[in-house]
Amino acid sequence: MKIQLCGHGKAQVIFMQDSRLHILIVEDSADDARSLMSILEAIPDYTFRIDWARSIAEAKAVLHSKDDRVDLIFCDFILENETGLDFLKMLQSCPAAPPVIMITAMDDHNVDVACMEAGARDYLRKGSLSPEALERVIRYTTHNHRTETELKAALKVREQMLSIVSHDIAGPLATLHATLRLLVARVAAGDTEKCRLFLEKAETSAAGILELTKKLLEWAKAQTHHFVCHPEPVALAEVVEQEQAALEVPASAKDLTLHVDLSPGHVAYVDRDSIAAVVRNLLTNAVKFSRKGETIEISGAHRGGRVELTVRDHGVGIPPDLRGDLFNEEKKTAQPGTMNEKGHGIGLMLCKALLERNAGQISVQSEPDAGATFTVSLPTPENPPPAPPPSTPGRVRVRKEG
């Protein structure tokens, strides 16, 4: 690890290749920051990447950076005209804030209690820090934070699934049950024409329930550790061809034309089943919101060392008030299609969850009555995403320079 302390007013990144744990030190004293770094580098079996911020404003800039996620924060309680309580208050507005360990030179029980009540996970006394104490605090704090995060995510998935089951599955099942009861009565009466109509309604209802259940299970699985991602080189043209064939019937019903402009060079490094589900949902949406006789365009491009897949339709578009919530798991944005096809608002949520597991991103551009364009950005075999860190990093000796 190469440590370079910067001048006042500028956050300095201290880096190490193949980092395992990203730590942010919030400390206005260069000597105290250097001392903490020296203790950290003496801890065996850990590799650190460290950011140093002299103020709350600098720390906020580091936390809002998209370059890397901070795993743990060490914060001095006194920061010139600010305090650690001000920092903890600022963190309340940061989504998924990392755990904070407060460091103080004061031996004040009231300060300790106030820090813990404000959200600090632990507090340590300056002058009594040691590699052994820091290693123990880091290990327990990061483990507990990870466990709490996973528990919150599991509870959130459970609540969302209960909501979807109660509103989007229970209703159609009740309709299907009523239809089958009427069908039984018509069979007994020998009314074959009515039986045929009821069977068609039952088949349509069952198909909708089955599709929703599959999407719901895929989405729930993508939120948990049961999801296993096996990235490999995947030709996007092959995936689109496979999913295009599955949509031939609904596309033909609207006399739609699918124009595909993908070359053999448009190859992503992703889990094949994941990208197939993403393509399937995007094409399904494009068909659903297209009008009779229109064209759906599927194209590829290379940009910034990644490969992009774009699905564009020329249909009814997305209302401005819904556009910002398309991928929001807290809000469902289901709309009926141009032939009154029903939606459940799960497809795009599933796309987002699967892409996040594959180091991918998704964006949308749309105007009312002017169609929608969804763009998916994916890693390539030439630029694969970094492998996740092993659960137990190997012993690493850190050398300080400068």
Q: What is the pLDDT of residues 256-279, one digit of tens each?
A: 999 999 999 999 999 898 898 899
DSSP annotation string for 231-274? EEEEEHHHHHHHHHHHTHHHHHHTT-EEEEE--TT-EEEEEHHH
CB 300 within 8 A of CB 308: yes
Count H helices and E strands in the chain, helices first.
Answer: 12, 15
Locate CATH 3.30.565.10 in the chain: 228-402
What is the CATH code for 228-402? 3.30.565.10
What is the CATH topology of the domain spanning 151-225?
Helix Hairpins (1.10.287)
Locate CATH 3.40.50.2300 in the chain: 12-129
CA dist 273 and 7 (Å) reads 49
CA angle 184, 187, 191 (to 5 degrees): 130
Q: Please state the CATH superfamily assignment of the domain spanning residues 12-129 in this structure.
A: Response regulator (3.40.50.2300)
Which residues lie closer than 8 Å to 100 by C-beta, 6 or more apart?
Answer: 73, 74, 75, 84, 87, 88, 91, 119, 120, 121
Q: What is the mean pLDDT of the chain?
A: 79
Provide the sign of the torsion angle of the four alpha carbons 89, 90, 95, 98, taken in this order: negative
Per-residue pLDDT for 296 more than 90?
yes
Parallel, antiparallel or unpaired: strands 295-303 and 306-313: antiparallel
Provide the sign of the torsion angle of the four alpha carbons 348, 354, 357, 362, taken in this order: negative
Locate CATH 1.10.287 in the chain: 151-225
pLDDT number for residue 206: 80
pTM for this prediction = 0.54
pLDDT number for residue 16: 42
CB 282 within 8 A of CB 325: no
Tell me the pLDDT tens digit for each residue of 38-94.
888 888 877 888 889 998 888 888 888 766 688 899 998 888 888 888 888 888 877
Residue 400: helix, strand or coil by DSSP?
coil
CB 259 within 8 A of CB 219: no
The residues with which 270 forms a beta bridge, in sequence order, are 232
